[in-house]
Amino acid sequence: MNNKEALQQLLRWKRQQIDPAELGWLRRSGRGRRSKGLSQAQVAQALYVSERTYADLERGDTAAPSTDFLDSVAKVLRMEERERSALYVYSLGYEPPIPMDPTAGTNVAPAWQHAVSNVSGQPCYINDVAWNVLAANDDFIRMFPQAPGEPPRLPEQNLIRWMLLREDAREHHLVDWEKRWAEPVAAQLRTAVAARPDSEELQQLDQEVNDDPVAGPIYRNHSVAYVHPDGDSRRMRHAGFVPQDGAEDTRDRCCDRHTRSQLGMVTMCAAQPFGSPGARFFLLVFQPHG
């Protein structure tokens, strides 16, 4: 099956799922064979375009439909995210860069939370589109610097706020903070704010980071373009690292306020839960060094 045939089948199938009466048209009556669902003419009317314009799309004869037009079609035909993605692929050859659902990427299925919490031996977590931690395993929580006598805990639910605005991150946990951490993380935030201008949480982060006397100038420097950290390696301190049997213990204290931690290099392996576009799953591979 080629893209034209796949597009035809997708759009025809979606039309058949919608009762015209739901969009204000009278139920068709009279003799003769009637196909169920919306007609091409009714879809065109709902889109405020000519019947030919919509029919050309359904036949696959529109060379390069605009993304606005495809999004309107997806809304009229009540497509789910996966169906809208298929519409883009069949029509344009690529998936939509931004989800249609404004809440996409703000949560993950309970199965993901269960899976992440049961991973052991390697830190991993999932964050939403605004970098709030949605799920994390114990190995990830133990990475952060802790005060003596305190149980391991996340220093903050929002990782962007912690990485860019908190002293523990800047001065103790994230090594070579400005160049290796702050610049790419700030660029990630700029890109996310631009992609989701309606997100109140991202707008709040944008304001907080911009107003910060340390992170603000870095955030306003647009010379660094950065979207995701997949495959990046950066220096950091791992508070939960335990040397393997027989290995030299090179842990030390970064300051009087924190317990011993291990200096090393972390490599970030990132992926996306397909059911929550915009959320990110991270597996952190840590290599110790003195």
DSSP for 163-209?
HHH-HIIIIIIBTTIIIIIIHHHHHHHHHHHHH-TT-HHHHHHHHHH
For the cut 50, the answer to whether the pLDDT of residue 32 exceeds it is: no
Question: What is the spatial distance between Cα 212 and Cα 203, in angstroms, rounded to a whole number?
Answer: 14
**For the residues 151-159, what does the mean pLDDT come to?**
93
What pLDDT score was predicted for residue 248?
A: 87
CA distance 159 to 155: 9
Please tell me if the domain spanning 3-92 has the same topology as the one spanning 110-288: no
Residue 26's pLDDT is 66
* DSSP reduced 3-state for 150: coil
Say which CATH architecture domain 3-92 belongs to.
Orthogonal Bundle (1.10)
The lowest-confidence range among 38-47, 138-147, 232-241, 270-279 is 270-279
Tell me the average pLDDT across 95-111. 83
For 70-98, give one letter per residue: b (16+ CB within 10 A) or e: bbebbebbebebebbbbbbbbbeeeebee
User: Is residue 134 scored above 80 in pLDDT?
Assistant: yes
Architecture of domain 110-288: 2-Layer Sandwich (3.30)
Instruction: State the burial class of residue 149 (Cβ atoms within 10 Å of its Cβ: 0-12, 13-18, 19+).
Output: exposed
Average pLDDT for residues 202-218, to the nearest whole number?
96
Give pLDDT, residue 36.
79
Residue 34 is predicted with a pLDDT of 58
The amino acid occupying position 204 is: Q
Looking at per-residue confidence, does 103 or 46 come out higher? 46
Q: Give the position of tokens 């291990």.
A: 262
pLDDT tier at 29 (50, 70, 90 boundaries)? low
Pairwise CA distance, residues 186 & 163, whole Å: 10
Helical segments of 17-50, H only:
40-47
Q: Return the exposure string of 231-254: e unless at least 16 CB atoms fall within 10 Å of the residue's CB, then b.
A: eeebebbbbbbeeeeeeeeebeeb
Cβ-based burial of 48 (10 A; exposed 0-12, middle 13-18, buried ≥19): exposed
Measure the CA–CA gap between 14 and 195, rounded to whole angstroms. 28
Q: Is the pLDDT of residue 76 over 90?
A: yes
Beta carbons within 8 Å of 84's beta carbon, 6+ residues apart: 70, 71, 74, 96, 100
Check residue 104 and give its pLDDT: 79
Q: Which residue has the tokens 């700030």?
A: 186
pLDDT above 50: residue 33: no
228 vs 191: CA distance, rounded Å? 10
Q: Which tokens in the block code for residue 24?
A: 């204000």
Of how many residues is the chain composed? 290
**pLDDT level of residue 105 (50, 70, 90 thresholds):** confident
**Domain locations along the chain:** 3-92, 110-288
